[in-house]
C-alpha cells in the first residue's frame, strides 16, 4: 500500500470512533457497568439496561419486610445520585436524555418506583397496577386493543410502551403529560384506569410502614402524590432496550462506507483488520436474514419509514395524522384536544419501533393486529382526510418488499430488556 494511502487509512481509523459514536457504536459502557454491578459497592455511573442490579429489587424472596428494607436503605450507595449512560444503539440518542433537575436518579428511588409500578394497591380496588397496561411480559404494553382498568372498564386508546422514555419528554399518544412525572400519576385518578383519588392513594401508602419509611428516606418530605410520580418516573427511566441486530449491522455498514476504498488493504493494518473482524463477529452473533437486511434498506429508502421513525429510538417524537380512525363519524382527534390547533386534528405521537414486534396490537386505537397490517396501511398512503400528514404517500411496495420490511422490524429491531423483579412488594 502506498505510504500516503497508509497515512490516510490510519487517520481515518483514528477518527472512526468519533464517526461511529454518532450512530451509537464503539461503547465500552456496557462492559464497565456489568463489571461494576458485580462489585461490592455499586458504581455511581451506570449503563441503563446493562446494570441488572438496578431493577432486580432488594435481594431475598417473598414479600418485602420492614427489616429488609431498613437494612437495604442503610447502605449509603443506595442514595448516591447516579450518572447514567445508555446502551449501545440507544446511546446515539444521548442528546435527548432527560432527567429533571429536581428528580435525580438513585438506586433507592428506582427501587421505590419499581414497587409502586407493580403494586395494584395504587388502584381503588387493588386490582390494577401500572404493569396491568404496561406489562414486561407483553412488551411493556398490553395485548388488548384498549387499556383495561378497574371493573373491566376499557379506555379508548391502545396502551403505549413504557420503555425508552428517558429520551422523551411529553408522554401519552397525545402528549398531554409534559413529563414522565405527570404521566405517572394521571392514571391513578382516572376513573376508567385505576379509579382512585390522589388523596386516597397517598393516605394508603403513608399507612404502610414500609412505603412510609422509603418515601421519608428517598425524598425527605414523605409521601406526596408528587413524590409518587417522581419515584415511578425514575423507575421508568431505567427501562431501556438493549442493542438489536440493526445496531451491529449499522456498525459494519458504517465501517465499510468509511473505508470503502481501503478494505482490500486491511491485512496491512492489523488494528483496523481486528476492528473489522470484530464487527463481523458481532453480526454473526446477532444475525439478520437477507430479507431483514433488504428491509433495513427499504426502511430508510423507498418505504419512507425513517421520515418519522428517525434517530436512535426510531421516533421523531412528533405528532402525525396517518388517517387511522378518521373514517369514524366522531373520530379521536388526538393532539388537537391538547393544543386546539387545527393542524393537529387526528395527529398522534410517533411510537418507538425498538422491540415493536413484542407489543401488538398497533396504532393509537389498537386497530391493527400485525406488523403486516401496519405496512399495508402505509403502503396505501393511509386514510385520506383534510389533516392527513404530508409525509403519508402511496408507496407501491411489492409483496416481497412488504415482507422484507416486516422481517426488518421483527428481526432487526428486537433487542433485550433489562432483567427485572416484578414481585417483592411491601407486606
Please give the domain boundaries of the chain with CATH numbers for all domains: 290-412 (1.10.760.10)
If pLDDT is split at 50, 70 and 90, which confidence band does 15 have? very low
Q: What distance in Å separates the CA atoms of residue 229 and residue 224, rounded to the nearest whole number?
A: 9
Q: Report pLDDT for 221.
A: 95
Neighbours of 394 (CB within 10 A): 10
pLDDT value, residue 396: 97
As to burial, measured by CB atoms within 10 angstroms (0-12 exposed, 13-18 middle, 19+ buried), residue 417 is middle
Please give the Cα distance from 398 to 298 (Å, whole number).
Answer: 11
Predicted pLDDT of residue 65: 97
pLDDT tens by residue, 116-126:
999 999 999 99
Write down the pTM of the prediction.
0.89
Of 88, 110, 102, 97, residue with least CA distance to 42: 110
Question: Is the confidence at residue 264, as pLDDT, over 90?
Answer: no
Mean pLDDT of 351-372: 98
Q: pLDDT tens across 137-181, in order? A: 999 999 999 999 999 999 999 999 999 999 998 999 999 999 999
Average pLDDT for 327-352? 97
CA–CA separation, 317 and 308 (whole Å): 8
pLDDT of residue 40: 53
> Cα separation of 147 and 130, whole Å?
11
pLDDT at 16: 43
Instruction: Give the per-residue pLDDT at 7.
Output: 41
pLDDT at 43: 74
pLDDT of residue 191: 97
**pLDDT at 51 > cutoff 90:** no
pLDDT above 80 for 9 = no
Amino acid at each position: 500500500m502506498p505510504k500516503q494511502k497508509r497515512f490516510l487509512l490510519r487517520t481515518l481509523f483514528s477518527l472512526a470512533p468519533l464517526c461511529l459514536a454518532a450512530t451509537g457504536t464503539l461503547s465500552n459502557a456496557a462492559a464497565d457497568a456489568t463489571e461494576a454491578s458485580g462489585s461490592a459497592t455499586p458504581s455511581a455511573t451506570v449503563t441503563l439496561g446493562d446494570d441488572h442490579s438496578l431493577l432486580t429489587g432488594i435481594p431475598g424472596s417473598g414479600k418485602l419486610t420492614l427489616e429488609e428494607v431498613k437494612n437495604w436503605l442503610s447502605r449509603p450507595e443506595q442514595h448516591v445520585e447516579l450518572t447514567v449512560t445508555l446502551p449501545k444503539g440507544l446511546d446515539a440518542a444521548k442528546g435527548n436524555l432527560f432527567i429533571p433537575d429536581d428528580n435525580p436518579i438513585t438506586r433507592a428511588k428506582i427501587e421505590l418506583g419499581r414497587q409502586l409500578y407493580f403494586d395494584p394497591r395504587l388502584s381503588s380496588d387493588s386490582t390494577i397496577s401500572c404493569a396491568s397496561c404496561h406489562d414486561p411480559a407483553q412488551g411493556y404494553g398490553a395485548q388488548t386493543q384498549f387499556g383495561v382498568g378497574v371493573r373491566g372498564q376499557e379506555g379508548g386508546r391502545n396502551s403505549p410502551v413504557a420503555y425508552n422514555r428517558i429520551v422523551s419528554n411529553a408522554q401519552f399518544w397525545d402528549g398531554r403529560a409534559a413529563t414522565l412525572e405527570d404521566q405517572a400519576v394521571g392514571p391513578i385518578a382516572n376513573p376508567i384506569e385505576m379509579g382512585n383519588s390522589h388523596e386516597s392513594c397517598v393516605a394508603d401508602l403513608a399507612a404502610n410502614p414500609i412505603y412510609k419509611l422509603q418515601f421519608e428516606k428517598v425524598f425527605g418530605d414523605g409521601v406526596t402524590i408528587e413524590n409518587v410520580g417522581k419515584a415511578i418516573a425514575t423507575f421508568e427511566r431505567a427501562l431501556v432496550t438493549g442493542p438489536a441486530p440493526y445496531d451491529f449491522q449499522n456498525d459494519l455498514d458504517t465501517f465499510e462506507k468509511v473505508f470503502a476504498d481501503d478494505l482490500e488493504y486491511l491485512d496491512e493494518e492489523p488494528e483496523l483488520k481486528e476492528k473489522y473482524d470484530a464487527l463481523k463477529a458481532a453480526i454473526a452473533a446477532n444475525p439478520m436474514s437477507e430479507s431483514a437486511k433488504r428491509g433495513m434498506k427499504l426502511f430508510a429508502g423507498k418505504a419512507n419509514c425513517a421520515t418519522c421513525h428517525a434517530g436512535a429510538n426510531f421516533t421523531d417524537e412528533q405528532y402525525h395524522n396517518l388517517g387511522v380512525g378518521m373514517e369514524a363519524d366522531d373520530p379521536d382527534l388526538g393532539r388537537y384536544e391538547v393544543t386546539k390547533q387545527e393542524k393537529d386534528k387526528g395527529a398522534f405521537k410517533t411510537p418507538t419501533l425498538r422491540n415493536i414486534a413484542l407489543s401488538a396490537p398497533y396504532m393509537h386505537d389498537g386497530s391493527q393486529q400485525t406488523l403486516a397490517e401496519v405496512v399495508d396501511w402505509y403502503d396505501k398512503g393511509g386514510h385520506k382526510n383534510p389533516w392527513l400528514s404530508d409525509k403519508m404517500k402511496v408507496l407501491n411496495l411489492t409483496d416481497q418488499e412488504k415482507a422484507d420490511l416486516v422481517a426488518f422490524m421483527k428481526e432487526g429491531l428486537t433487542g433485550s430488556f433489562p432483567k427485572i423483579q416484578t414481585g417483592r412488594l411491601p407486606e
